[in-house]
Structure 1
Amino acid sequence: MNTSKLAYKPVGMVLGMLAGAAAGLIFKQVWKVVEGDNDAPNATDEERQWGEILLAAALQGAIFAVVKAAVDRAGATGVRKVTGEWPT
Structure 2
Amino acid sequence: MGRLLYKPFGIVFSVLAGKIAAKLFTAIWAALDKDASDGRPPRPTEPNAPVGKAIAATAIEAATYAGTRAAFDRAGVRTFHYLTGVWAGPKPPKSKR
Q: Tell me the TM-score normalized by structure 2.
A: 0.84
For structure 1, the residue ranges without an aligned partner over 5 or more in a row are none
Matches within 5 A, 1:25-40: 25-36=23-34, 37=36, 38-40=39-41
Task: Provide the aligned length of Structure 1 versus Structure 2.
Answer: 86
Letter in 2 for 1:13: I
Does the CA contact (< 8 Å) of 1:19 and 1:67 recur in 2?
yes
Residue of structure 2 equivalent to 1:50: 51
SS class of match (1:10): helix
Residue of structure 2 equivalent to 1:68: 69
Distance 2:64 2:83 in 1: 29
Offset from partner CA, 1:31-83 (integer Å, 9 cap, x none): 01111231011111111111000000000000101100000000001110122
Over 3 Å off, 4+ runs: none
Distance 2:8 2:19 in 1: 17
Deviation of 1:6 after TM superposition, in Å, equals 2.0
More helix by share: 1
For structure 2, the residue ranges without an aligned partner over 5 or more in a row are 90-97
Query: Which has the bigger relative contact order, CA under 8 A and spacing at least 6?
Result: 1
RMSD of aligned Cα (Å) = 0.9
